[in-house]
Amino acid sequence: MGWEKSLLGLKWRQLMRPGLCLLVLLCCLTLGPRPVQGDKVLVMPVDGSHWLSMKLLVKELAARGHEMVVMVPETSVLIQSSDFYRTENFKVPYTTSQLEASINQLQSGVFLEPPRITDLFVKVQHLLNFTNLQVKGCEGLLYDKLLMQRLKAERFQLMLTDPFLPCGSIVAESFNIPAVYFLRGIPCGLDDMATQCPTPPSYVPRLFSGNTDHMDFLGRVKNMIMYIVESYLCKIMFVKFDELTSRYLEQDMSYKELLGHGAVWLLRYDYTFEYPKPRMPNMVYIGGINCGKRGPLPADLQEFVDESGEDGFVVFTLGSVVSQMPEDRGKLFFDAFSRIPQRVVWRYTGVVPDNAPANIRVMKWIPQNELLGHPKVKVFITHGGTHGIYEGICNAVPMVMLPLFGDQEDNVLRMSVRGVGEVLRVFDITSDKLVETLNKVIHNSSYKEKMLKLSAVHKDRPIEPLDLAVFWTEFVMRHGGAEHLRTAAHDLNWVQYHCLDVILLLITIVITVVMGTIKGCKVCFRKCCRVKMTMKKKSE
Amino acid sequence: MGWEKSLLGLKWRQLMRPGLCLLVLLCCLTLGPRPVQGDKVLVMPVDGSHWLSMKLLVKELAARGHEMVVMVPETSVLIQSSDFYRTENFKVPYTTSQLEASINQLQSGVFLEPPRITDLFVKVQHLLNFTNLQVKGCEGLLYDKLLMQRLKAERFQLMLTDPFLPCGSIVAESFNIPAVYFLRGIPCGLDDMATQCPTPPSYVPRLFSGNTDHMDFLGRVKNMIMYIVESYLCKIMFVKFDELTSRYLEQDMSYKELLGHGAVWLLRYDYTFEYPKPRMPNMVYIGGINCGKRGPLPADLQEFVDESGEDGFVVFTLGSVVSQMPEDRGKLFFDAFSRIPQRVVWRYTGVVPDNAPANIRVMKWIPQNELLGHPKVKVFITHGGTHGIYEGICNAVPMVMLPLFGDQEDNVLRMSVRGVGEVLRVFDITSDKLVETLNKVIHNSSYKEKMLKLSAVHKDRPIEPLDLAVFWTEFVMRHGGAEHLRTAAHDLNWVQYHCLDVILLLITIVITVVMGTIKGCKVCFRKCCRVKMTMKKKSE
Pick the closest to residue A382 from A359, A396, A403 (CA basis): A403
In this structure, is residue A33 part of a structural domain?
A: no
Closest Cβ opposite residue B65 in set A10, A64, A489: A10
- Average pLDDT (A287-307) is 89
Q: What is the per-residue pLDDT for B6? A: 41
Its ipTM equals: 0.88
pLDDT in tens, A212-225: 999 999 999 999 99
Q: What is the per-residue pLDDT for B393? A: 96
In this structure, is residue B16 part of a structural domain?
A: no
The size of chain B, in residues, is 540
- CB burial string B11-31: b at 16+ within 10 A, e below: eebeeebeeebeebbeebeee
Best mutation target among A40, A277, A505 (most B Cβ atoms within 10 Å) is A277
- Cβ–Cβ of A497/B17 closer than 8 Å? no
Q: What is the per-residue pLDDT for B344? A: 95
For residues B321 and B470, state if they share a domain.
no
In this structure, is residue A266 part of a structural domain?
A: yes
For residues B440 and B319, state if they share a domain.
yes
- CB burial string B377-411: b at 16+ within 10 A, e below: bbbbbbbbbbbbbbbbbbbbbbbbbbbbbbbbbbb
- Cβ–Cβ of A200/B489 closer than 8 Å? yes
Closest Cβ opposite residue B29 in set A18, A28, A221: A18
SS3 for A109-127, per residue? CCCCCCCCCCHHHHHHHHH
> What is the identity of the amino acid at B169?
S
- Cβ–Cβ of B276/A63 closer than 8 Å? no
Residues 6+ apart with CB under 8 A from B31: none
Alpha-carbon gap, residue B379 to B382, rounded angstroms: 10
What percent of chain A lies above the pLDDT cut of 90? 66
The size of chain A, in residues, is 540
- Cβ–Cβ of B475/A460 closer than 8 Å? yes
HSE at residue A226, side-chain half, CA atoms within 13 A, is: 22
Q: What is the per-residue pLDDT for B141? A: 94
- Cβ–Cβ of A221/B505 closer than 8 Å? yes
Query: Which residues of A are less than 8 Å from B492 in CB distance?
Result: 202-203
pLDDT in tens, A194-208: 999 999 999 999 988
In this structure, is residue A138 part of a structural domain?
A: yes
Q: What is the per-residue pLDDT for B253? A: 95
Query: Which residues of B are less than 8 Å from A203 in CB distance?
Result: 487-489, 492, 497
For residues A396 and A250, state if they share a domain.
no
* Residue B487 CA from chain centroid, whole number: 22
Give the bridge partners for A272, in sequence order: none
CB B345 within 8 A of CB B363: yes
For residues B59 and B194, state if they share a domain.
yes
Q: What is the per-residue pLDDT for B134? A: 87
Report the residue of chain A nearest B283, measured CA to CA: A278
In this structure, is residue B223 part of a structural domain?
A: no
Closest Cβ opposite residue A203 in set B20, B214, B489: B489
In this structure, is residue B212 part of a structural domain?
A: no
Query: Which residues of B are less than 8 Å from A5 in CB distance?
Result: 83
In this structure, is residue B232 part of a structural domain?
A: no
* Element containing residue A11 per DSSP (H, E): helix A10-30
A217 min Cα distance to partner chain B (Å) = 7
Query: Which residues of B are less than 8 Å from A293 in CB distance?
Result: none
What is the distance in angstroms between the CA of the first residue and the CA of the last residue of chain B? Answer: 96
- Cβ–Cβ of B6/A492 closer than 8 Å? no
pLDDT in tens, A125-171: 888 888 888 899 999 999 999 999 999 999 999 999 999 999 999 99
Evaluated on CA atoms A315, A319, A325, A329, the torsion sign reads: negative
Confidence of residue A422 (pLDDT cuts 50, 70, 90): very high
Alpha-carbon gap, residue B46 to B73, rounded angstroms: 10
Best mutation target among B83, B498, B509 (most A Cβ atoms within 10 Å) is B83
For residues A424 and A386, state if they share a domain.
yes
> What is the identity of the amino acid at B95?
T
Query: Which residues of B are less than 8 Å from A467 in CB distance?
Result: 462
- Cβ–Cβ of B485/A271 closer than 8 Å? yes
For residues A166 and A217, state if they share a domain.
yes
> What is the identity of the amino acid at A418?
R
Report the residue of chain A nearest B482, measured CA to CA: A457
Question: Is the pLDDT confidence value at A10 over 70?
Answer: no
Give the residue ranges of chain B where pLDDT is below 50.
1-36
Report the residue of chain B nearest A68, measured CA to CA: B3
- Cβ–Cβ of A83/B478 closer than 8 Å? no
* DSSP H stretches of helix in A238-319: 239-249, 255-259, 299-306
For residues A451 and A324, state if they share a domain.
yes
Closest Cβ opposite residue B462 in set A29, A460, A471: A471
For residues A159 and A227, state if they share a domain.
yes
CB B58 within 8 A of CB B180: no
Report the residue of chain A nearest B497, measured CA to CA: A202
- Cβ–Cβ of A13/B65 closer than 8 Å? yes
- Cβ–Cβ of A460/B468 closer than 8 Å? no
Best mutation target among B12, B17, B505 (most A Cβ atoms within 10 Å) is B17
Query: Which residues of A are less than 8 Å from B206 in CB distance?
Result: none
- Cβ–Cβ of A22/B25 closer than 8 Å? yes
- Cβ–Cβ of A201/B463 closer than 8 Å? no
DSSP letter string, B170-213: HHHHHHT--EEEEES--GGGHHHHHHT----TTTSPPTTS---S
Select the highest-mean-pLDDT range: A7-16, A106-115, A513-522, B117-126: A513-522
- Cβ–Cβ of A279/B276 closer than 8 Å? no
Planar angle of CA B280, B283, B285, nearest 5 degrees: 130
B57 min Cα distance to partner chain A (Å) = 15
Instruction: Count structural domains, chain B.
Output: 3
For residues B163 and B259, state if they share a domain.
yes
Report the residue of chain B nearest A3, measured CA to CA: B86
DSSP letter string, B318-370: -TTT-----HHHHHHHHHHHHTSSSEEEEE--SPPPTT--TTEEEESS--HHH
SS3 call for B523: helix
For residues A246 and A348, state if they share a domain.
no
Size of interface A-B (CB pairs under 8 A): 232
Alpha-carbon gap, residue B262 to B284, rounded angstroms: 12
Question: Is the pLDDT confidence value at A6 over 50?
Answer: no
Closest Cβ opposite residue A9 in set B83, B471, B491: B83
Q: What is the per-residue pLDDT for A201? A: 95
For residues B402 and B374, state if they share a domain.
yes
pLDDT in tens, A24-44: 444 444 444 444 456 899 999
CB A142 within 8 A of CB A456: no
Report the residue of chain B nearest A473, measured CA to CA: B462
pLDDT in tens, B445-474: 999 999 999 999 999 999 999 999 999 999
Domain boundary among A459, A474, A502: A459
Q: What is the per-residue pLDDT for A393? A: 96
pLDDT in tens, A430-450: 999 999 999 999 999 999 999
B273 min Cα distance to partner chain A (Å) = 9
Q: What is the per-residue pLDDT for B38? A: 61
A329 min Cα distance to partner chain B (Å) = 37
B30 min Cα distance to partner chain A (Å) = 10
For residues B93 and B137, state if they share a domain.
yes
Best mutation target among A21, A196, A499 (most B Cβ atoms within 10 Å) is A499
Pick the closest to residue A191 from A207, A208, A178 (CA basis): A207
DSSP letter string, A158-187: EEEE-TTSSHHHHHHHHHT--EEEEES--G
- Cβ–Cβ of A492/B202 closer than 8 Å? yes
* CATH assignment at residue B348: 3.40.50.2000
Query: Which residues of B are less than 8 Å from A276 in CB distance?
Result: 280-282, 484-488
In this structure, is residue A4 part of a structural domain?
A: no
- Cβ–Cβ of B278/A278 closer than 8 Å? yes
Q: Residue B184: which domain range? A: 40-198+241-291+464-491
Query: Which residues of B are less than 8 Å from A87 in CB distance?
Result: 2
Best mutation target among B58, B277, B454, B495 (most A Cβ atoms within 10 Å) is B277
Distances (CA, A) of A50 to A180, A185, A290, B299: 15, 11, 11, 60
Query: Which residues of A are less than 8 Å from B497 in CB distance?
Result: 200, 202-203
Out of A5-9, A172-176, A386-390, B160-164, pick the least confident. Answer: A5-9
B29 min Cα distance to partner chain A (Å) = 6
Which burial class, exposed, middle or buried, applies to A40 when counting CB atoms under 10 A from its CB (0-12, 13-18, 19+)? Answer: middle
